[in-house]
Structure 1
Amino acid sequence: MSAAKTENLNIAAFDPMPSPDEIIARVPLTERAAETVLAGRRALCDILDRKDPRLFVVIGPCSIHDPEAGLDYARRLKKVADEVADTMLIVMRVYFEKPRTSVGWKGYINDPYMDDSFRIDEGMERARRFLLAVNEIGLPAATEALDPIAPQYYGDLISWTAIGARTSESQTHREMSSGLSTPVGFKNATDGDLSVATNAILSASHPHSFLGINGRGVTSIVRTRGNRYGHVVLRGGGGRPNYDSVSIKLAEQALDKAKLAQNIVVDCSHANSWKKPELQPLVMKDVVHQIREGNRSIVGTMIESFIEAGNQSIPDDLTQLRYGCSVTDGCVDWPGTETMLRDTHRVLGESGALHARMR
């Protein structure tokens, strides 16, 4: 009698995936893009080290689904980024992977055609091409690291990484973060618990060894040095925002207790704006007011912004998609985005608050 089958009982297929080296060979890093990535990382590290007094702003669509609209947005953003460069470092939000509460579209890498065909092999290459184009425009890029293998495919094009509220507690993501080449922002848990993020920062700052893949796609023991640029991202939770001055003070105390640098990023979206994109400008104004009044721990903000306001459902007929409108969380529209950034620039420039942060 043959042995009973005991593995892969719920696996339908193993489809081949190109290795990271193969994808990178098809879409190689250019000199211009490399300059943007490295300059973005250096500036972010300098802000976290208090060598640069500017505020960094991670801003862009909730998720990328249409590369044409995404690059249209990037070109617009670059013009404003140059205008406000003396007070803010603008980093474009380029999210390809979407964690779902239950089910739903998982993002451009997982399902680039938005038809449940799940051509991850094509999605990965397209995502890399998009990131390359953004960096060649001159904008550093930020993303959320969700799949622990994905950074091997496009990590060389990322300047800032977020670990989401659902994964900050994950040991897998803490280990992965310890080896990333970028500063990493860990979000507080969906219930508002901040200890998840502080513990993640501590864990990621240490060396780890874990299973992963190398550039050839070979399963490997990945040994990391630890990442000293972990920091907390406040995104609200547990039914309330946490960007107000009292919440910021409590976060500062929690970081101090954990013997961590008081580096705080405020996510103007999610629970901090009750998932109402029209409230994001109010959150930004409050944060800027705190900086103007002398706060030194807030180093960055996050904003969900696109060409059109709000969001849309994915229709069966994809030709009916509205151009430049999010298919995931709602966003501030482009005129609102320009106003937010220029108003912030004016207040920070006039108040002298940024220079005080260096004293």
Structure 2
Amino acid sequence: TTESQVHRELASGLSMPVGFKNGTYGTVQMAIDGIGAAAGEHHFLSVTKQGVAGIVATKGNPFCHVILRGGSSGPNYDADSIARVAAQLEAAGLPVRIMVDCSHANSGKDHEKQPEVAESIASQVAGGDDSIFGVMMESFLLDGNQKHSQSQGSAGLVYGQSITDKCMSWERTEPLFERLAEAVR
């Protein structure tokens, strides 16, 4: 969706932050292009506030940011990667706001490695990096995940365990929040 012009246009009409993830190979330019497009005014066919089809005019969204999720080329949460992306955003004349996804390719798709990523981000922020403004973590009440069967419904499901991606437990997540809060003080 980062490359989708339709999504970029829709994002331009929202008065809330919208994140654009880097590509699956780890390239960031498409996210930067998406932010630039969403920052501008657009006119397109959509549904109006009255619920009818019409031409919608947007004013642009100044609250967009890059989400670094890593890619097939590896993680991109290290200080050098963050500095490169910050420089690219600055060169494009865009606000330098970077969110880091502690899951996906940044953790090697291993939910147990998310704390390492969060710790690295906390260290960078504590060290003065102000380009990082947030993190994303896959977290739920219990570690891991479970299979969900349409035929069984909720029977046999463990309460508090994900039925989608593997997640960190709340016990493992809470100290990360504390560490990140410490880093911004």
| Class of the TM-score when normalised by the shorter of the 2 chains | over 0.9
Match of 1:213 among 35, 40, 47: 47
Structure with max Cα Rg: 1
Partner Cα separation in structure 2 for residue 235 and residue 221 of structure 1: 34
Contact 1:275 1:329 in 2 (8 A): no
User: Does 1:344 find its partner at 2:180?
Assistant: yes
Instruction: Determine if the alignment matches structure 1 residue 301 to structure 2 residue 135.
Output: yes
SS in structure 2 of the partner of residue 172 of structure 1: helix
What whole-Å deviation, never above 9, does each CA across 1:108-149 have from its counterpart, x for those lacking one?
Answer: xxxxxxxxxxxxxxxxxxxxxxxxxxxxxxxxxxxxxxxxxx
Within 5 Å, give how 1:76-95 maps onto structure 2. Answer: none
- Percent of aligned positions with the same letter in both sequences? 45
Counterpart amino acid of 1:196? M
Q: Does 1:250 align with 2:87?
A: no
Q: CA RMSD in A?
A: 1.3
- Give me the whole-angstrom Cα distance separating, in 2, the residues matched to 1:288 and 1:184: 22
* Structure 1: distance between partners of 2:11 and 2:174: 32
Alignment TM-score, normalising by the size of structure 1: 0.49
Pairs within 5 Å for 1:134-145: none
- Which residue number in structure 1 is paired with residue 168 of structure 2? 332
Q: Please name the residue that 1:317 is paired with.
A: 152
Match of 1:30 in 2: none
Deviation per residue, 1:176-208 (Å, 9 max, x gap): 000012011111111111010000011001111
Provide, for residues 258-288 of structure 1, a one-character-per-residue CA deviation record: whole Å limited to 9, x for no partner: 1112111111111111111111111010001
2:99 matches 1:265:
yes
Aligned-partner Cα distance in 2 for 1:346–1:294: 13
The amino acid that maps onto 1:317 is Q
Aligned residues: 183
TM-score by length of 2: 0.93
Residue deviations 1:305-359 (CA, integer Å, cap 9, x gap) = 111111112123121222111121111111111111123223443xxxxxxxxxx
Matched, 1:241 2:75: yes
Q: Which runs of 5+ in 2 are unaligned?
A: none
Work out the CA distance in 2 between the residues paired with 1:225 and 1:347.
35
2:113 to 279, 303, 322: 279
Q: Write out per-residue CA displacement over residues 26-52 of structure 1, whole angstroms, 9 at most, x where no aligned residue.
A: xxxxxxxxxxxxxxxxxxxxxxxxxxx
Distance 2:183 2:20 in 1: 28
* Counterpart residue type for residue 74 of structure 2: R
Moved beyond 4 Å, runs of 4+: none
Instruction: Answer yes or no: is the 8 Å Cα contact 1:187–1:233 preserved in 2.
Output: yes
Separation of aligned partners in 1, 2:99 and 2:142:
25
Name the amino acid aligned to 1:327: I
Which position in structure 1 is the counterpart of 2:20? 186
| Structure 1: stretches of 5+ with no match in the other structure | 1-166, 350-359
